[in-house]
């Protein structure tokens, strides 16, 4: 069964799919009368269509056991979708340029402080917490119109292997 | 000096100022093939004006010492502003219906899992971490137009007292 080995999540590697929300390696600016440091606009949210708006929700995840066979890819043509871990545990991001072609898949191991924003229309697996239960803040779109496409990928037999170490 | 004693942050108490982002006490719905529970649309984000969009940033805060004398209130007429703690430490939220009137102030002690969204135009103090350094995800507005008003309140001598316990 082909293995999809996760690479480290960096801004450069993830750029074709969206943004990484992470203050590490950035200078930031002083704010709030010296009591804070601000890292503004690390990522933008795009919401398409009339009468639509961004909303904030929470996802609580159960850990998945590795190796994990990918189940289903999804995408949201009308809006960005942001995920930010609220506990600092590593998590897995799987994206694809074309979900029917095994060679178009990429997997990323995100550190616990790293969030991501998928651009509208980017194919992604639902989020995967490999070790411990996770809690994520989610920003996505609320509004009229079909904003979910799914593609079953079980038959591709793509396996996320156990993490090293 | 008048003391502004923080009350617990609840949805009901905070309703005049915005939304509380918290899954506690909500049922949620199963998601992601049984690997997750979803609490969708706990809060909405409103972004006003042409060519404006929501953006995601990070704030890192230094702890402030209590008692703390309020310094300055601010508001953003053109957009909501969301703050979600990325470490589960308590934090302080101070809002005012009118920043020139001491009797219009309210303070809330947020638990570490609780985020908030200020509605556009709501007067608030910059965020305060009373005990330990904090890290917050921020969603706010990027775009043309004046979106910051400030009001110095040092002279009101409003004090946030030490937390009980």
**Per-residue pLDDT tens over the stretch A32-41:** 999 999 999 9
Handedness of CA A38, A42, A47, A48 (dihedral sign): positive
Peptide bond into B67 cis (omega under 30): yes
| Strand B7-8 versus strand B105-110 pairing type | parallel
Q: Check whether B114 has a pLDDT greater than 80.
A: yes
A163 touches chain B (CB under 8 A): no
Taking residues A110-117, report their average pLDDT: 97
Handedness of CA A114, B137, B11, B5 (dihedral sign): positive
**Alpha-carbon dihedral B31, B114, A38, B131, rounded to 10 degrees:** -140
- Which domains does chain B show, CATH number per domain? 7-160 (2.60.120.480)
- Between vectors from CA B125 to CA B123 and to CA B129, what angle results, nearest 5°? 145
CA atoms within 13 A on the CB side of A152: 3
- Shortest distance between the Cα of A48 and any Cα of chain B, in A, equals 11
A92 touches chain B (CB under 8 A): no
Radius of gyration, alpha carbons of chain A: 16
* Pair A121, A16: CB distance under 8 Å: no
Taking residues B132-143, report their average pLDDT: 97
**Percentage of chain A with pLDDT > 70?**
99
User: Rounded mean pLDDT of chain A?
Assistant: 95
* Pair B102, B158: CB distance under 8 Å: yes
Name which of B33, B53, B117 is nearest A56 (Cβ-Cβ): B117
Q: What pLDDT shows up at residue A82? A: 98
| Strand B53-61 versus strand B72-75 pairing type | unpaired
Radius of gyration, alpha carbons of chain B: 16
Q: How confident is the model at residue A61 (pLDDT cuts 50, 70, 90)?
A: very high
- Shortest distance between the Cα of A108 and any Cα of chain B, in A, equals 19
* Pair A139, A82: CB distance under 8 Å: yes
**Per-residue pLDDT tens over the stretch B78-93:** 999 999 999 989 999 9
Q: Which residue of B has its CA nearest to A47?
A: B53
Is ipTM beyond 0.90?
yes
Through-space distance between the first and last CA atoms of chain A, rounded to whole angstroms: 22
Q: What pLDDT shows up at residue A2? A: 82
- B120 Cβ partners below 8 Å, 6+ apart? B46, B48, B76, B77, B78, B79, B80
Q: What pLDDT shows up at residue B66? A: 95
**Per-residue pLDDT tens over the stretch A124-141:** 999 999 989 999 999 999
B31 touches chain A (CB under 8 A): yes
Taking residues B107-122, report their average pLDDT: 97
**Per-residue pLDDT tens over the stretch B52-69:** 999 999 999 999 999 999
Q: How confident is the model at residue A11 (pLDDT cuts 50, 70, 90)?
A: very high
Q: Check whether A50 has a pLDDT greater than 80.
A: yes
B138 vs A1: CA distance, rounded Å: 41
Q: What pLDDT shows up at residue B58? A: 98
CA atoms within 13 A on the CB side of A7: 10
Q: What pLDDT shows up at residue A164? A: 83
Sheet containing strand B36-44, edge to edge, reads A18-21, A115-118, A81-85, A134-142, A53-61, B36-44, B29-31
Q: Check whether A165 has a pLDDT greater than 80.
A: no
- Between vectors from CA A58 to CA A55 and to CA A61, what angle results, nearest 5°? 145
Cβ separation of A59 and B37 shorter than 8 Å? yes
Taking residues B24-46, report their average pLDDT: 95
B20 touches chain A (CB under 8 A): no
User: Rounded mean pLDDT of chain B?
Assistant: 95
- The number of residues making up chain B comes to 165
Q: What pLDDT shows up at residue B128? A: 95
């Amino acid at each position: 069964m082909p293995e999809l080995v996760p690479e480290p999540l960096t801004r450069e590697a993830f750029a074709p799919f969206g943004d990484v929300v992470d203050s590490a390696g950035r200078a930031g600016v002083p704010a709030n009368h010296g009591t804070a440091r601000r890292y503004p606009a690390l990522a933008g949210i795009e919401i398409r269509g009339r009468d639509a708006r961004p909303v904030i929700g929470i996802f609580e995840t159960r850990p998945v056991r590795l190796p994990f066979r990918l189940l289903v890819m999804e995408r949201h043509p009308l809006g960005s979708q942001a995920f930010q871990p609220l506990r600092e545990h590593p998590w897995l991001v799987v994206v694809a340029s074309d979900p029917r072609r095994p060679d178009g898949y990429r997997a990323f191991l995100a550190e616990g402080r790293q969030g991501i924003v998928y651009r509208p229309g980017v194919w992604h697996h639902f989020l995967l917490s490999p070790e411990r239960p996770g809690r994520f803040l989610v920003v996505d779109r609320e509004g009229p119109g079909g904003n979910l496409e799914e593609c079953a990928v079980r038959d591709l037999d793509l396996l996320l292997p156990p993490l090293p170490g």
